[in-house]
């Protein structure tokens, strides 16, 4: 019996199988069960995929027990301190930190694709002003799949690269227009003399009537937050993009499915839900009541921004954002922002409560990001849109990796059936 296999014996049939263990660069090895059904007539059952690796990837690595996050082998702490969002985008897409020439070329390529087709602007008029910007994003970004007929062969590497550049470049333009539509202000065109984040802030907050100057502190804070949100292994939205992409669907439509999955409050929608929760708690004296609600099995309330499927220690991104909160609020926000004070106190109370300790529930990336967005002037209903802009890089990098994988095939999970046993049709006159 090899040490690199797992033996499964089905005691009901007496059949045994040795399954290979596969090992990556770091992290838990996997049991390759691809032949299990064929050889043993057995499926595995893992709703929510707590113990299931859905693919092989070389992009991002997470060690939840030790609070480790790496993009292409580089620790997130080093990238947060030393890199920029577009440099990280290049790293995630192509696997290496760019040289200066490569970064300049990549930046100019992104800049060349920031405009959206003028006809897209009319799509926004189909939405009422009170539409949630994420609903607008799903619709308008998905409609990009109706364009670019010159580059839709996803098995052509050049077409994939062009689609990738277009998606990363146009997401901020579509996002800013989604915001402008809800506030009834005119759309602002991209300005390619600005940085990626500076361009986003200008498209969101500039108005024709006056000059708008991008605040460098806000620009750096957003660039850093985007680095932290760029990719995160096989999370729900990335897995959604991979699943829809596995049928060779249009890449713009696949990323639109990622936006949809991210919107949920259990996932990327949590940053907006955290602010709503903090505003509902309102005062430090109410923290105990909400901690009790979060612990009450009969109460659907959860402490938003707390807990993570993988991190059973502090989310390394939350640590970085928490520190950045202090710096940003000291410079541009209200350094005594009552919601930040409330968040710090809520964190302290929860981290010292047995319920959260015993379930390894720590603040995640969404717990503090909204505080910074609010200090910058980003409206709460745009928080998840900011997350979507940053995560587009991860979605696109993972989609490209999947399509280029020679072993890639359509994802088609199975099930355990517990419905009606076989039965015959009953004519309507005989039904009771």
If binding is defined by CB under 6 A, does position 232 make contact with ligand SDX? Answer: yes
Q: How far is CA 9 from CA 13, 37, 107, 273, 424, in A?
A: 8, 13, 55, 46, 36
Q: Please say which residue, 159 or 312, places its beta carbon nearer to ligand SDX.
A: 312
Dist CA 142 CA 163 (whole Å) = 13
Distance of CA 45 to the CA centre of its chain: 25
Select the span of 113-121, 159-167, 174-182, 361-369 touching ligand SDX (CB under 6 A): 361-369
Dist CA 286 CA 116 (whole Å) = 47
Q: Are 272 and 383 in contact (CB under 8 A)?
A: yes
Residue 164, judged by CB atoms within 10 A of its CB (0-12, 13-18, 19+), counts as buried
Handedness of CA 324, 325, 327, 333 (dihedral sign): positive
Q: How far is CA 353 from CA 48, 86, 203, 358, 367, in A?
A: 27, 40, 44, 9, 17
Kindly tell me which residue out of 113, 159, 267, 331 binds ligand SDX, with binding defined by CB under 6 A. 267
Q: Are 288 and 352 in contact (CB under 8 A)?
A: no
Kindly tell me which residue out of 303, 376, 385, 386 binds ligand SDX, with binding defined by CB under 6 A. 303
Instruction: Check residue 56 and report its DSSP letter.
Output: -
If binding is defined by CB under 6 A, does position 278 make contact with ligand SDX? Answer: no
If binding is defined by CB under 6 A, does position 270 make contact with ligand SDX? Answer: yes
Q: How far is the CB of 277 from ligand SDX (least distance, A)?
A: 10
Catalytic residue (one of 308, 326, 353, 405):
308
Q: Please say which residue, 48 or 158, places its beta carbon nearer to ligand SDX.
A: 48
Binding-site size, ligand SDX (CB under 6 A): 21
Select the span of 151-159, 251-259, 299-307, 378-386 touching ligand SDX (CB under 6 A): 299-307
Judge whether 366 counts as a catalytic residue.
Answer: yes
If binding is defined by CB under 6 A, does position 263 make contact with ligand SDX? Answer: no
- Residue at token pair 């109460």: 299
| Residue closest to ligand SDX (Cβ) | 307
Judge whether 418 counts as a catalytic residue.
Answer: no
Q: Please say which residue, 87 or 272, places its beta carbon nearer to ligand SDX.
A: 272
Known catalytic residues?
308, 366
- Residues forming contacts to ligand SDX in the complex (CB under 6 A) are 48, 232, 235, 266-268, 270, 294, 302-309, 359, 361, 364-366
């Amino acid at each position: 019996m090899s040490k690199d296999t797992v033996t499964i014996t089905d005691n009901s049939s007496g059949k045994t199988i040795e399954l290979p263990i596969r090992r990556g660069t770091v992290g838990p090895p996997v049991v390759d069960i691809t032949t299990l059904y064929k050889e043993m007539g057995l499926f595995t059952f893992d709703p929510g995929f707590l113990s299931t690796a859905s693919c092989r990837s070389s992009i991002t690595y997470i060690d939840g027990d030790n609070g480790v996050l790496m993009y292409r082998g580089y620790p997130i702490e080093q990238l947060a301190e030393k890199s920029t969002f577009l440099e990280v985008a290049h790293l995630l897409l192509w696997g290496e930190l760019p040289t200066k020439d490569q970064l300049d070329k990549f930046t100019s390529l992104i800049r060349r694709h920031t405009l959206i087709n003028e006809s897209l602007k009319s799509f926004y008029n189909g939405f009422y002003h009170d539409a949630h910007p994420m609903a607008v994003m799903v619709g308008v970004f998905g409609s990009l799949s109706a364009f670019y007929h010159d580059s839709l062969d996803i098995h052509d590497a050049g077409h994939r690269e062009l689609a990738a550049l277009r998606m990363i470049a146009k997401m901020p333009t579509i996002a800013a227009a989604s915001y402008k539509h809800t506030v009834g202000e005119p759309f602002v065109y991209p300005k390619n003399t600005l940085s990626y984040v500076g361009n986003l802030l200008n498209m969101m907050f500039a108005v024709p009537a006056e000059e708008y100057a991008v605040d460098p502190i806000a620009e750096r804070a957003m660039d850093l937050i985007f680095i932290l949100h760029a990719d995160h292994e096989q999370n729900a939205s990335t897995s959604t993009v991979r699943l829809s992409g596995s049928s060779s669907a249009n890449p713009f439509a696949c990323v639109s499915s990622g936006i949809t999955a991210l919107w949920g409050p259990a996932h990327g929608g949590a940053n907006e839900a955290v602010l709503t929760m903090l505003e509902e708690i309102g005062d430090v004296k109410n923290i105990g009541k909400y901690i009790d609600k979060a612990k009450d099995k009969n109460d659907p309330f959860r402490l938003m921004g707390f807990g993570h499927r993988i991190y059973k220690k502090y989310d390394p991104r939350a640590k970085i954002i928490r520190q950045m909160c202090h710096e940003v609020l000291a410079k541009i926000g209200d350094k005594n922002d009552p919601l930040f004070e409330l968040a710090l106190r809520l964190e302290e109370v929860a981290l010292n409560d047995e319920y959260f300790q015993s379930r390894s529930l720590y603040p995640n990336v969404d717990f503090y990001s909204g505080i910074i967005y609010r200090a910058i002037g980003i409206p709460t209903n745009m928080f998840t849109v900011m997350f979507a802009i940053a995560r587009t890089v991860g979605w696109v990098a993972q989609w490209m990796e999947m399509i280029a994988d020679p072993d890639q095939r359509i994802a088609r999970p199975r099930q355990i059936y517990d419905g009606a046993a076989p039965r015959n049709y009953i004519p309507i006159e005989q039904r009771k």
